[in-house]
Chain A
């Protein structure tokens, strides 16, 4: 499984990236929105974990772009949500609020991947019909 982990905090990238690797994921890290766009254009990722405060490109625009590419997103949300922040974030099932436990992140990844796979299967079945 290829995951793209995007956040501005390098310590977060280091520790969460390593944690995901130890749990069997192949992880690429990105420091800002431009890197996210650049990486996803060159490689197919199974899931992107995106910090809400990623610099250089607003989070909502990145989510839209990733949605269009068919890459599921887990948004890591830091601040208590203003209405604007909630609107720009991904659906509730793909959001995870800081501070989270490693198990919670791993569970969220599994759920999001499973949901994404189910949706893809339904879409494929619909196309075949």
Chain B
């Protein structure tokens, strides 16, 4: 459940981060675009006056009238004060390339520097130069004009908004993270409790079933020894077998859902040997020849119970489907451990990854016990141990290979 809570917080944070960044990016991009557009309108006005503002006063605007104050269409580039507030210079270039000053109303540049800059820009069209200066190059047939307008004062609020919005975003994300952590604790508490109860119930059910099943098995054996086997004792055995399989599945579920499984350096050689010892009788009874290649001392970091289940399931699977023989081997090369379970088969050659899907049974499983879950659990266990498992048939041999 902790994993789910962490995922919830991470995904929620990603969503909030994307949303905030998108919003702020849109606001700032629009803001900077509008500043650039305003600057272009100013340079266009200058171009309309052949390099300087036209001297006439706009009589339609009377600031003394209340209605004209605060009108947006009379601000920025449309302001009647623009000719007096614009910081700009214009140079024109004749055919001989000689620079001639048309207007110079700026203090950040000396006339020499301004001429040099205009010279540099005369082959351009429109754009930004020296970060905060907007320039425009225009022609009147005889001359090429270069106008450079200072937009520093107009850009400053935009930069402030950008910085403030970035700081705001970081602070907002921090607050959002703290809020999500706090809320997720409260939100997930009932789910965590339910999950914990469910797991405890499963673990307890698994444990509580075990001894009664053992006793029923022993009692059946005793009854059969004393009075002989009959259809009823055989029925008991079949039902016990089913319940034992159910108990095992509960155990598997409990291991797979452990919040913090014990991870240690596990002796895979010993685990595999134990699994084979447990199946030795069944292998013998089935008349299957067993070939083992299990060098001692091969270990891997992981959960011992998960490794036990992997070894048991692979052994049981090979035994169940073997026709005449099965081979179990374990090897370690370059810190990669490979566990292989092979059995002879009549299945055609190919890759059989579908055996790891739940409830999938191959054609050779007809008439065999099982529910198509064993190998799906193997895949889950192997995944939990950061390994991979493959299934294929090669030359009449079904090969299950676990790589850790």
Contacts and interface: CB of A to CB of B under 8 A. Distances in A.
Contacts of B274: 92-93
Contact of A104 (B262, B270, B278): B278
A102 B281 contact: no
Contacts of A79: 207
B132 interface: no
A42 interface: no
A78 interface: yes
Interface in B313-369: none
B33 interface: no
A19 B211 contact: no
A122 B80 CA distance: 113
| Most A-side CB within 10 Å, residue of B206, B214, B274, B278 | B214
A99 B264 CA distance: 26
Nearest to B214: A99
The dominant DSSP class at the A interface is helix
B247 A22 contact: no
Interface string B206-247: 110111011101110110011000000000000010001001
A128 to B, nearest CB: 29
- Chain A interface size, as a band, is 20 to 34
Interface stretch (A8-16, A28-36, A54-62, A63-71): A8-16
B222 A80 contact: no
B213 A99 contact: yes
A107 B279 CA distance: 11
A18 interface: yes
Contact of B214 (A16, A22, A80): A16
A98 B211 contact: yes
A15 B281 contact: no
B154 interface: no
B38 interface: no
Given A99-B213, A102-B221, A104-B278, A80 B255 contact: yes
Contacts of B218: 12, 15-16, 18-19, 102
Given A82-B262, A93-B277, A102 B305 contact: no
Contacts of B270: 92
Interface string A100-123: 111110010001000000000000
B221 A19 contact: yes
B73 to A, nearest CB: 78
Interface string B384-404: 000000000000000000000
Interface in A35-94: 78-83, 86, 92-93
A15 B222 contact: yes
Given A80-B254, A86-B304, A9 B211 contact: yes
Contacts of B210: 78, 97-99
Given A12-B214, A19-B222, A86-B304, A99 B281 contact: no
A89 to B, nearest CB: 13
B304 A99 contact: no
Contacts of A104: 278, 281
Contacts of A102: 217-218, 221
B375 to A, nearest CB: 21
B203 interface: yes
26 contacts: A12-B215, A16-B214, A18-B218, A18-B222, A19-B222, A22-B221, A22-B222, A79-B207, A80-B251, A80-B254, A80-B255, A81-B304, A82-B262, A83-B262, A86-B304, A92-B270, A97-B210, A98-B210, A98-B211, A98-B213, A99-B209, A99-B211, A99-B217, A102-B218, A102-B221, A107-B281
Interface of A: 9, 11-12, 15-16, 18-19, 22, 78-83, 86, 92-93, 97-104, 107, 111
Given A9-B215, A16-B218, A22-B225, 14 more contacts: A15-B218, A16-B214, A19-B225, A78-B207, A80-B203, A81-B304, A92-B270, A98-B211, A99-B210, A99-B211, A100-B217, A102-B218, A102-B221, A103-B281
